[in-house]
Structure 1
């Protein structure tokens, strides 16, 4: 058994794709969501169910989605949508 305070290796490999935290999403960003590329029309903040910060994203393609502010979202190229 190792010492409790020694450095531990990362649990997963870093992603090789471009991501952005939900709190940093801006209009015009292209996000992979539910198997499709969608363009962000507007991003606003709200309270999450447990009181944490959430981001509500409205899509150019219609509809919206809510993400915890710390979630990593998959970014695409502007012409992906």
Structure 2
């Protein structure tokens, strides 16, 4: 299983998990919403922090692949992944 390059963090609002990708010499800030984790990674509603991070780590390879594709299609300083991003693939 692939591990995140930097430790993921749950957003203060608990609406997502932030993580970073390395693209060349640049760090790209990324967020996957908890709605996406619930819809496509079987995260239960109102999960605790430990379960949210475990679900993120378990799905990291797929999450990273989608984040990288989105970054290639829309270069920028930040990527936000929502349920729609996973529904198309």
Do the structures match in fold with TM over 0.5? no
TM-score by length of 2: 0.29
TM-score by length of 1: 0.31
Structure with greater Cα Rg: 1
